Amino acid sequence: METGSNSDSLDKAETSNGRGNKLGSMLPKIEPFVPKKDQNHNPRELRSWAKRTGFVSHLSGETGTASSTERFDSSTGFHVGKSGRDQRAGGSSPKIEIDPVLGRTRPNMGVEIEMDSGSGSGSRQGRKTVADGNGLGEKVEERKVGLNGNGVENGNGNGKGNGVASVTPLVVEEKDEEGKGGRDVEIGMYPEGEEQGHEGGNGHHPGLKVGLRDNPGLGALIYYGLQHFLSLAGSLIFIPSVMVPAMGGTDKDTASVISTMLLVSGISTILHSYFGTRLPLVQGSSFIYLAPALVIINARDYRNLTEHKFRHIMRELQGAIIVGSIFQSILGFSGLMSLLLRLINPVVVAPTVAAVGLAFFSYGFPQAGSCIEVSVPLLLLVLICTLYLRGISIFGHRLFRIYAVPLSVTITWIYAFFLTAGGAYDYKGCSPDIPSSNILVDECRKHAYTMKHCRADASNAWRTAAWVRIPYPLQWGVPIFHFRTSLIMIIVSLVASVDSVGTYHSASLLVSSKPPTPGVVSRGIALEGFCSLLAGIWGSGTGSTTLTENTHTINITKMASRRALVFGALFLILFSVVGKVGAILASIPLSLAAAILCFMWALVVAVGLSTLQYTQTASFRNITIVGVSLFLGLSIPTYFQQYQPESILMLPSYFVPYAAASDGPVHTINEQLDFSINALLSMSMVVTLLVAFVLDNTVPGSRDERGVYIWSCAEDVATDPSLQLDYSLPGKFSSLCCRSSCLRA
Angle at 563 between CA 561 and CA 566, to 5 degrees: 120
What letter does residue 559 receive in the DSSP assignment? B
Compare 719 and 252 and report the one with higher pLDDT: 252
Pairing of strands 97-98, 71-73: unpaired
pLDDT at 741: 45
**Per-residue pLDDT for 709 more than 60?**
yes
Compare 453 and 307 and report the one with higher pLDDT: 453
Q: How far apart are the C-alpha atoms of 503 and 352, rounded to whole Å?
A: 12
Model confidence pLDDT, tens digit, residues 606-644: 989 999 998 998 899 999 999 999 999 999 999 998 876
Compare 514 and 312 and report the one with higher pLDDT: 312
pLDDT at 430: 77
Q: Quick one: average pLDDT of 299-309?
A: 80
Helix boundaries (H) for 232-275: 233-237, 239-246, 251-275
> What sign does the CA torsion over 288, 294, 297, 301 have?
negative
**Per-residue pLDDT for 166 more than 90?**
no
Instruction: List, as one string, the DSSP characters of 338-385.
Output: HHHGGG--HHHHHHHHHHHHHTTTTTHHHHHGGGHHHHHHHHHHHHII
**Per-residue pLDDT for 443 more than 60?**
yes
Give the percent of the chain with pLDDT over 70. 67
Question: Which burial class, exposed, middle or buried, applies to 184 when counting CB atoms under 10 A from its CB (0-12, 13-18, 19+)?
Answer: exposed
Chain centre to alpha carbon of residue 473:
31
**Per-residue pLDDT for 377 more than 90?**
yes
Q: How far is the first Cα of the chain from the last one, in angstroms, to the nearest whole number?
A: 46
The contacts of residue 28 (CB under 8 Å, 6+ apart) are 53, 54, 103, 104
pLDDT at 55: 53
**Per-residue pLDDT for 415 more than 50?**
yes
Q: How far apart are the C-alpha atoms of 663 and 679, rounded to whole Å?
A: 10
Please state, in angstroms and as integers, the Cα–Cα distance from residue 163 to each residue in 134, 154, 191, 639, following that order. Answer: 35, 13, 10, 43
**Per-residue pLDDT for 141 more than 70?**
no
What letter does residue 577 receive in the DSSP assignment? T
**Per-residue pLDDT for 137 more than 60?**
no
CA nearest neighbour of 664 among 628, 632, 633, 636:
636
Are 41 and 177 in contact, with CB atoms under 8 Å apart?
yes
**Per-residue pLDDT for 699 more than 90?**
yes
Q: Quick one: average pLDDT of 252-274?
A: 94
CA nearest neighbour of 191 among 163, 158, 162:
163
Q: How far apart are the C-alpha atoms of 630 and 684, rounded to whole Å?
A: 8
CA nearest neighbour of 111 among 78, 87, 148:
78
**Per-residue pLDDT for 714 more than 70?**
yes
Model confidence pLDDT, tens digit, residues 359-368: 998 888 988 9
Are 501 and 347 in contact, with CB atoms under 8 Å apart?
no
Extended strands (E) in 498-549: 544-546
Are 530 and 377 in contact, with CB atoms under 8 Å apart?
no
Measured from the Cβ of residue 665, the count of other Cβ atoms closer than 10 Å reads 13
pLDDT at 641: 84
Q: How far apart are the C-alpha atoms of 315 and 310, rounded to whole Å?
A: 9
Model confidence pLDDT, tens digit, residues 575-592: 999 999 999 988 888 889
Q: Which of 142-156, 222-236, 467-481, 605-619 has the lowest mean pLDDT?
A: 142-156
Amino acid identity, position 298:
N
**Per-residue pLDDT for 428 more than 60?**
yes
CA nearest neighbour of 258 among 584, 534, 536:
584
Are 306 and 243 in contact, with CB atoms under 8 Å apart?
no
Compare 167 and 286 and report the one with higher pLDDT: 286
Amino acid identity, position 459:
S
Q: Quick one: average pLDDT of 138-167?
A: 42
CA nearest neighbour of 578 among 175, 259, 299:
259
Mean per-residue pLDDT over the chain, rounded: 76
Q: Quick one: average pLDDT of 18-40?
A: 54
- Name the band, by pLDDT with cuts 50, 70 and 90, for residue 269: very high
Q: How far apart are the C-alpha atoms of 480 and 315, rounded to whole Å?
A: 5
CA nearest neighbour of 532 among 700, 706, 334, 293:
293
Q: Which of 154-158, 271-275, 559-563 has the lowest mean pLDDT?
A: 154-158
**Per-residue pLDDT for 252 more than 70?**
yes
Please state, in angstroms and as integers, the Cα–Cα distance from residue 643 to each residue in 202, 293, 363, following that order. Answer: 58, 20, 18
> What sign does the CA torsion over 388, 390, 396, 402 have?
positive
**Per-residue pLDDT for 170 more than 80?**
no
Q: What predicted TM-score, i.e. pTM, was given to this entire model?
A: 0.71
Q: How far apart are the C-alpha atoms of 117 and 478, rounded to whole Å?
A: 50
- Name the band, by pLDDT with cuts 50, 70 and 90, for residue 307: confident
Bridge partners, residue 97, by sequence: 106
Please state, in angstroms and as integers, the Cα–Cα distance from residue 7 to each residue in 12, 41, 103, 534, following that order. Answer: 9, 17, 12, 77
Instruction: List, as one string, the DSSP characters of 668-684.
Output: -S-HHHHHHHHHHHT-H
Are 588 and 409 in contact, with CB atoms under 8 Å apart?
yes
- Name the band, by pLDDT with cuts 50, 70 and 90, for residue 301: confident
pLDDT at 542: 93
pLDDT at 188: 36
Q: How far apart are the C-alpha atoms of 498 and 170, rounded to whole Å?
A: 38
Are 284 and 496 in contact, with CB atoms under 8 Å apart?
no
The contacts of residue 172 (CB under 8 Å, 6+ apart) are 68, 69, 71, 138, 139, 140, 141, 184, 185, 187
Q: How far apart are the C-alpha atoms of 81 and 187, rounded to whole Å?
A: 9
Q: How far apart are the C-alpha atoms of 564 and 550, rounded to whole Å?
A: 13
Model confidence pLDDT, tens digit, residues 318-352: 999 999 999 999 999 998 999 999 999 999 999 99
pLDDT at 721: 78
Label residue 465 left, alpha or beta by phi (over 0 means left) and psi (-120 to 50 means alpha). Answer: beta
The total number of residues written for the chain in this structure:
745
Instruction: List, as one string, the DSSP characters of 148-184.
Output: -TTS-BSS---S--SS---EEEEEEEEE-TT-S-EEE
Helix (H) / strand (E) containing 128 = strand 125-131
Helix (H) / strand (E) containing 250 = none
Question: Which burial class, exposed, middle or buried, applies to 93 when counting CB atoms under 10 A from its CB (0-12, 13-18, 19+)?
Answer: middle
Compare 74 and 429 and report the one with higher pLDDT: 429
Q: Is 467 helix (H, G, I), strand (E, B) or coil?
A: coil
Are 320 and 483 in contact, with CB atoms under 8 Å apart?
no
CA nearest neighbour of 563 among 293, 277, 213:
213
pLDDT at 34: 65
pLDDT at 325: 96
**Per-residue pLDDT for 92 more than 60?**
no
**Per-residue pLDDT for 258 more than 70?**
yes
